[in-house]
Every structure is written in C-alpha cells, then in structure tokens.
A and B are shown apart, each in its own frame.
Chain A
Amino acid sequence: MSAKLDRLCQNLRDVLGERVVDITVDRSEVTLVVSAADYLTAATTLRDHADLCFEQLMDLCGVDYAAFGEVAFSETARATPRFAAVSQLLSLTHNWRLRLRVFAPDDSFPVVASVADVWNGANWFEREAFDLYGIMFDGHNDLRRILTDYGFVGHPFRKDFPIFGHVEMRYDPAQQRVVYQPVTIEPREVTPRILREENYGKADGRG
C-alpha cells in the first residue's frame, strides 16, 4: 500500500473517529463504510475538512446485494442489509479518491439521507438510484423517476426483477391505442451464471 493511501486512511480515522464503521483498501482503492445515521454528517465532514477535501462527487449508485455470491436471487434471509448507496468521491486538492458506502437498514423500505445538499451533483444520481432500486433519499427535494417510462411500476435493477420485465407494450388495432399486457417472451439464459469454489482449478483444490 502506498504512503498516500496510508495517509488517507489515517486522516479518515482521525477526522471521522467513531463514525467509521469499516475502512478497507483493496487494489489501491479505499472504501469507507459509514452507518446510515452518520451518513449526512460524515459526508459534510468529508467535503469540508482540510485533511480530506472531497470537493467532487463523481458517482452515486444503488447496489442490491440480494444475490451476492449466489447463483440466482433467492428469498433466503441474509445477515447483511440488502441495499446500499455507493458513491465515488474525488479530492482535487489532494488528488485522491474514496468510495463511500452506506447500507440502508430496512430491506423492505430502504431509506438513507440525501447528500444532494452536500454535493449538488448527487441530485440526479439519487433520482436514478431511487428509480432503479427503490432506495428513498431522505431530504431530496425532487425524488421523481428519471430513466424509466412515465407510469412505470417496480424497480427494474433489483435482483428479483426479471430481465424481461413484467409487461410489454403493443398497438391494439381494436382499441386503436397502445396497450400494456403481460410479457409473452420465454425467459432464456444463453450462458448460465457460474460460481466456482475458491481454489477451483488450483493444484491443491479439486477440479
């Protein structure tokens, strides 16, 4: 690990103190996890503190961990929360990056604070995460759907939403208008999703 990343981790621990739930460094990238309760104050500190100075929010996205490490989505209970909002921060002053992850505590109604007031650029990213994953951003002033169609039902990027969707659209000559109906295409998967054991194919493993 380079000295610069060391310094960033140290600064994060010094400045944020108890608000740090976890810091990991993997492949020269630092990931900081904070709790949903501390999210907004941590974000403000990350932006304003002279030792951190993350002036820019590059990206914010929702993640659904429901099928992580599994072949397909299943209803089994998980130990960790299902939804997370992950943002990529950039500091131009120090020229370093940080990934900030916050898990939404409640799986059935995921809510995290909005950081659109801290970084105005987060506005549309949060609308997108709401649209695609159904994560509510508390304090967002304009949480409308953004990418899906007007009147769309459901959150399409959730792992339990089928890739073909639920409805399809066609022109009905009898009613002389466009109608929605349940999908008629058969679901198919050309290449199945395959997960191997950790030491698969190695000299000491099997296979």
Chain B
Amino acid sequence: MAEIKNYTLNFGPQHPAAHGVLRLVLELDGEVVVRADPHIGLLHRGTEKLMETRSWIQSLPFMDRLDYTSMIINEHPYCLAIERLLGIEVPLRAQYIRVLFDELTRIHHHLFNLGAHALDVGAMAMVLYTFREREDICDILEAVTGARMHQAYYRPGGVYRDLPDRMPKYEVNKFKNAQTVKELNAARDGSVLDFIEDFANRFPGYCDEYETLLTDNRIWKQRLIGVGVVSPERALQLGLTGPMLRGSGVEWDLRKKQPYEVYDRLDFDIPVGVNGDCYDRYLVRMEEMRQSNRIVKQCIDWLRKNPGPVISDNHKVAPPAREKMKGSMEELIHHFKLVSEGMHVPPGEVYAGIEHAKGEFGVYVISDGANKPYRVKLRSPAFQNVSALDEMARGHMLADVVTIIGTLDIVFGEVDR
C-alpha cells in the first residue's frame, strides 16, 4: 500500500481571504486541517516602542492605525488610561460624544466584518450593501473630525471639538446632475446630529435587509453552522472576549459589567449565543449593531438637550482655546508648554480596558512622571483571536478555515501592532 503523508500548505500572506497579511502554515491530511500555525508580525511597526519615544499626545494618532476598521474607538482606552493616571474629570457632554462615536464605530466595524466575512464565504453582494452604509458613517466622521479613516478626535480630558452645526453637501459636477445631488443632499440640510439621527432611523431597515440575505440563507447556514465551535470554558481559557466570548454563551460585556463613561445611564441589551459556532457569532454581531443603534439614538437625544464644554479646562492637560491664547500671557505659556514639551503624567500604572467592537481592548500604561510614557502595552482582542485559530480550525476542512478567519474578525493593524 502506498505511503500517505500529510502535506503543508502556505495560506497567505498575499491571499484575499487572509484579511491582510496573515501567513498560515496549514498541515493537511487530505482536505482536513491537522494543525494550523499562524505566522503574524508581517505588519509589525513597533507601535509600543514608538510610543515610548513620543510625548503622550503625539502617540494618540497611532491608536487609529491599530484597528483600521474601527478607528475612533481605539483612542478611547488610551485616553481613559491617561485620564485615570492624571485623575482628571471629563465633561459629561464629551462622555456622551465619545459613547456616540464608539457605537457608530462599532456599527462601522461590524458592517465591515459582516461584508468581508460574507464575501469570503461566497455571498458577493453583502459587501456592496454594507459598504453603502459604511459610507454614511465615514461621512459623519469626516464632518466631525475632518478625516474619514484616522480621526485622532478623542483627547485626554474630552474630545477635540464639539459637533459641527452643518453637514457638508454634494455639489453638481459632470458625474452628478442637479436631480441626483438634490436626492443625495436630502438628509444633509440640518446639523450633523440631524444626519446621524436620519441614519439611525434608516439603519434598522438595512439590518433587516442583511438578515433577509443571510440569516435564512441555506448556503450561509451550511457554511457557518457547526464550524469553529468554542465552548464557554475554552473561550475563557483562550482569553477570548467580545462577540467571540458572547457567541459561546458567556454574558460578559464591559459596558454593562464595568461601565465606563455614561454606559450606566443608557438602555441596551447584551446578545449572547448558544452553540458557540460561527453562525451564533454572526447573530450576536447582527444584534449588537441594532443595540448600538439604540444607544446612538439615546445619545443624540441627550446631546440635543445639553450643550456644554467638550474638553477639560485643566490647561496642564488640554490646550486653551485659540482665541484666549492670542490674548492672555498665561494661556500662551500653557499652550507653548503643551505643544513643545507635552504634559507630564504622574508616576504610576493603569490598565484601562473597554468593550471594543472585537472584544476587550486594553491599554496598560506605566508612567515614571516624564513627558513620555515609560511603557505602553496594547492588549488587542484580535491578537488573542488569531492565537485561538489553531484550536478552532483543527479537524475542519480547508474551506472552513476561511470561514473561521472571517468569524475571528482579524485586522492586522492591531494583531501586529
């Protein structure tokens, strides 16, 4: 009888379903995965080391570049950590704005993930629909922060600026005639908050559309149900968080269990799965988008009624208003010190974790009192998810590896840091 040997297959790093630069060495027995060995680090930029050589505020834009599908929410734990070290209060309006943008990014992230996951598994059309809605969120972010992708909007002590009163509009050009432009601008007549509200009202309808495409789709179910099953015990052992943990039936969400900012004032539910397979995690993410939408609406209501400051008035931390700086010597000195030397953060160490779209995103900071962090450790949920890939893929077919990569929700910016 002929000798049968396992063979190894190189999956990626240049593979469209590898979600970036994942190199996967798969040991296969026929078409069954015996061992999966992920090689990561191809996008390693040494973010944590770079942060040690820059002042506290200069490091903030690095955070957007970690998980580039949910940018603004990455800045949150970093700001929280600095605020806890400094012991400063954040104005309530800034907290609401942060929650609003955290939830918008969560929707943005889940849309991205859902589209890419469905595309990997063979449902081509999904990504077109989810990117349509993603575009609206990008427009909101651009109107508020000036950038579609890398916002750098949160600051230690609050947010950079208040929400603008106007939403940018489309203009007539050789590709868009007056009629099209009028339709596109229909929701853009009011303030940014009006536009977000319009989006939040439309969004549940879009979710229903996605569900009609996927939830009862026979192929989608055949590809997802029973694939990549993680028991609750194993999920805890492997350090999985977020939808990966909740998909296995563990009800754990930092927004509820260890509330930060204003989450304890908001009304929302935590969806959990039952079987811990890819399909349950899909359902959890789907429901999370609807819940995020609920939070967005509550934030809009509050923000409409309560104007106020959006950044701390402690000028050792947050720069004074430009207008004041031009007229007052003290403010000028504050501003000069802040931009040249940066703030000094008292010695100590803090771990700030938040419920990121992927799970717990933690920032562990050690300060020795200098104008730069002594050590920053970024605990990214996707790093932990990739490390579980081996266990989840074992015994599955080669094609299921693609499904598992999709459900793991990997973005290499934050895996490799």
Contacts of B417 in A (CB 8 A): 147
A105 close to B (CB within 8 Å)? no
Q: Which residue of A lies closest to B353 (CB)?
A: A58
B149 close to A (CB within 8 Å)? no
A176 → chain B closest CB, angstroms? 22
Instruction: Mark A78-95 against chain B: 1 for CB-CB distance below 8 A, else 0.
Output: 000000001010001001
Instruction: Mark B235-263 against chain A: 1 for CB-CB distance below 8 A, else 0.
Output: 01111110000000010100001100000
Beta-carbon contact of A163 and B368 below 8 Å:
no
Beta-carbon contact of A58 and B369 below 8 Å:
no
Contacts of B416 in A (CB 8 A): 147
Give the dominant DSSP class at A's interface. Answer: loop
A170 close to B (CB within 8 Å)? no
* A124-B387, A146-B40, A147-B40 as given contacts; A55 in contact with B236, CB under 8 Å: yes
B85 close to A (CB within 8 Å)? yes
Contacts of A64 in B (CB 8 A): 375
A41 close to B (CB within 8 Å)? no
The total of chain B residues at the interface (CB under 8 A) is: 53
Beta-carbon contact of B371 and A59 below 8 Å:
no
B164 close to A (CB within 8 Å)? no
Residue among A71, A121, A195 making CB contact with B387, cutoff 8 Å:
A121
The CA-CA distance from A68 to B250 in the complex, in Å, is 40
* A56-B239, A121-B237 as given contacts; A27 in contact with B85, CB under 8 Å: yes
A40 → chain B closest CB, angstroms? 16
Beta-carbon contact of B84 and A189 below 8 Å:
no
The CA-CA distance from A68 to B53 in the complex, in Å, is 14
Name the residue in A63, A145, A189, A198 with the highest tally of chain B Cβ atoms < 10 Å from its Cβ: A63
Beta-carbon contact of A191 and B379 below 8 Å:
no
Q: Which of B323-350 contact A (CB under 8 A)?
A: 340-342, 344, 347-350
The CA-CA distance from A61 to B417 in the complex, in Å, is 14
Contacts of A88 in B (CB 8 A): 351, 353, 362, 364, 379
Cross-chain pairs A/B with CB under 8 angstroms, 28 sampled: A26-B348, A27-B348, A29-B349, A29-B350, A31-B349, A56-B239, A58-B351, A58-B353, A59-B362, A59-B364, A61-B364, A69-B368, A88-B362, A88-B364, A88-B379, A95-B257, A99-B349, A119-B237, A121-B239, A121-B387, A124-B384, A145-B41, A147-B417, A156-B49, A191-B54, A191-B342, A194-B344, A195-B368
Assuming A27-B85, A57-B239, A147-B40, what are 19 further A-B pairs, CB within 8 angstroms? A27-B87, A56-B236, A58-B360, A58-B362, A59-B351, A61-B364, A63-B375, A64-B375, A69-B368, A69-B369, A95-B257, A95-B258, A99-B349, A120-B238, A147-B44, A193-B53, A193-B370, A193-B372, A195-B368
Residues of A within 8 A of B (CB): 26-27, 29, 31, 55-59, 61, 63-64, 67-69, 71, 86, 88, 92, 95, 97, 99, 119-124, 145-149, 156-157, 163, 189, 191, 193-196, 198
Across chains A and B, which 5 residue pairs bring their CB atoms closest together, nearest first? A121-B239, A147-B41, A59-B379, A124-B387, A61-B377
